[in-house]
């Protein structure tokens, strides 16, 4: 019995030791969505966690001028649509009366041809005015849609030219005041500190019955589980599989090296 216990004990306690650095949950490179000149870049905020602040401002002066102009134009177009709609309602009533009059006199034999022609041309003229006004309203509606699109586009452009960070760590600014940036040009490197992660490289035998195993950090059992396991072996560590453990951001200090065992 004692011999059997000695054989089993190493199997029960053996686990490969890993060391993993506490890293931000996500690292992101922000790229410009527009082309513009950098008006300001807050280099002094590098290396700090930003609660809510604009760290890069691109030139949006012309966009704001155009936005104001388009909003005023949109207001005018809306008023013109309303006026023409009222006019259309009046023309519709006039058209109906002219049509009724023409239909009435055209069937009377005692009415002269001159009177019938006058009634006909009056009806055609009323119809032409009605259709012309209706066409003008449709054209104004098209202008309205175009202006709404331009306003939304300008608002989006203005928004994209103001690089605001909320609860993110500004690792590095990659532009300076006076620089001109094009679309897709890197602007800043940021990190998400809302959570942290540990990256491990595990061998096949460590992954067996992984869901039933306990993760130990610095020799203490935890309730953490592997949140993600790569199904293809790593390019660098060709006999191992990459795995990640997501942990609370305030549980361990970032960049600290932790001892990790899975057993």
Q: In this structure, are 55 and 65 located in the same domain?
A: no
Residue 13: the pLDDT is 46
Residues 54 and 68 in one domain: no
Is the pLDDT assigned to residue 10 strictly greater than 90? Answer: no
Determine the Cα–Cα distance for residues 162 and 33; give it in Å rounded to an integer.
11
Question: What is the predicted pLDDT for the residue at 201?
Answer: 92
Q: Are residues 175 and 245 in the same domain?
A: yes
State the total domains in the chain: 2
CATH of the domain at 195: 2.40.50.100
Residues 221, 263: Cα–Cα separation, whole Å = 10
Among 131, 160, 189, the domain-final residue is 160
Residue 8 lies in a domain: no
Torsion of CA 34, 35, 39, 42, to 10 degrees: 60
Is 6 a domain residue?
no
CA 209 to chain centre: 40
46-94 pLDDT, tens digit each? 999 999 999 999 999 999 999 999 999 999 999 999 999 999 999 999 9
Question: Who contacts 178 (Cβ-Cβ below 8 Å, separation ≥6)?
Answer: 37, 38
Report strand pairing: 215-217 vs 48-58.
Answer: unpaired
Q: Are residues 255 and 169 part of one domain?
A: yes
107-149 per-position pLDDT tens digit: 888 888 888 888 889 889 999 999 999 999 999 999 999 999 9
pLDDT at site 1: 43
Alpha helices in the chain (DSSP H): 2-13, 61-106, 113-160, 204-207
pLDDT score, position 14: 53
In a domain, 135, yes or no: yes
Same domain, 175 and 51: yes
Domain boundary among the residues 138, 160, 182 is at 160
Domain co-membership, 133 together with 90 = yes
- Domain boundary (122, 141, 160) is at 160
pTM greater than 0.85: no
CB 84 within 8 A of CB 136: yes
Whether 1 is covered by a domain: the verdict is no
Q: List pLDDT tens digits, range 200-235.
A: 999 888 888 888 899 999 999 999 999 999 988 888
Answer with the residue of higher pLDDT: 104 or 139: 139
Residue 127 lies in a domain: yes
Are the C-beta atoms of residues 207 and 263 closer than 8 Å to each other?
Answer: no
Same domain, 141 and 254: no
- Do 175 and 94 belong to one domain? no
What is the average per-residue pLDDT within 155-171? 94
Whether residue 88 sits in one domain with residue 206: no
Q: What angle do CA 89, 91, 95 make, to 5 degrees?
A: 120
Q: Look at residues 68, 58, 45, 53 and name the one whose alpha carbon lies nearest to residue 185.
A: 58
Asked if 70 and 140 touch (Cβ cutoff 8 Å), the reply is no
HSE on the CB side for 146, CA within 13 Å? 8
Please report whether residue 21 resides in a domain.
yes
% the chain with pLDDT above 70: 94
Q: Is the pLDDT of residue 9 over 90?
A: no
Domain limits for position 23: 13-59+164-262
Residues 196 and 249 in one domain: yes
Residue 144 belongs to some domain of the structure: yes
Rounded to the nearest 10 degrees, the angle between the axes of helix 113-160 and helix 61-106 is: 160
199 in a domain, yes or no?
Answer: yes
Query: Are 98 and 156 within one domain?
Result: yes
- Vertex 150: Cα angle to 148 and 176 (nearest 5): 135
Are residues 49 and 65 both part of a single domain?
no
């Amino acid at each position: 019995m004692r011999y059997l216990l000695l054989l089993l004990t190493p199997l029960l306690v053996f686990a490969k030791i890993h060391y993993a650095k506490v890293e931000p949950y996500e690292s992101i490179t922000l790229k410009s969505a527009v082309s513009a000149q950098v008006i300001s870049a807050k280099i002094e905020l590098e290396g700090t966690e930003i609660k809510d602040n604009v760290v890069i401002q691109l030139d949006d002066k012309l966009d704001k001028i155009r936005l104001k102009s388009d909003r005023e134009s949109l207001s005018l177009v809306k008023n013109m649509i309303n006026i023409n709609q009222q006019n259309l309602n009046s023309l519709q009533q006039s058209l109906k009366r002219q049509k009724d009059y023409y239909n009435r006199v055209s069937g009377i034999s005692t009415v002269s041809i001159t009177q019938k022609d006058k009634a006909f041309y009056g009806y055609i003229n009323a119809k032409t005015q009605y259709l012309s006004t209706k066409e003008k309203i449709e054209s104004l509606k098209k202008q309205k849609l175009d202006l709404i699109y331009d306003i939304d586009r300008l608002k989006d452009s203005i928004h994209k030219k103001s690089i605001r960070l909320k609860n993110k760590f500004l690792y590095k600014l990659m532009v300076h005041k006076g620089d001109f940036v094009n679309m897709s040009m890197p602007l800043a490197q940021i990190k998400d500190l809302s959570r942290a992660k540990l990256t491990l490289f595990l061998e096949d035998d460590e992954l067996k019955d992984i869901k039933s195993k306990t993760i130990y950090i610095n020799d203490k059992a935890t309730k953490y589980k592997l949140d993600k396991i790569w199904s293809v072996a790593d390019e660098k560590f060709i006999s191992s599989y990459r795995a990640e453990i997501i942990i609370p951001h305030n549980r361990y200090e970032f960049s600290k090296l932790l001892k990790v065992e899975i057993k």
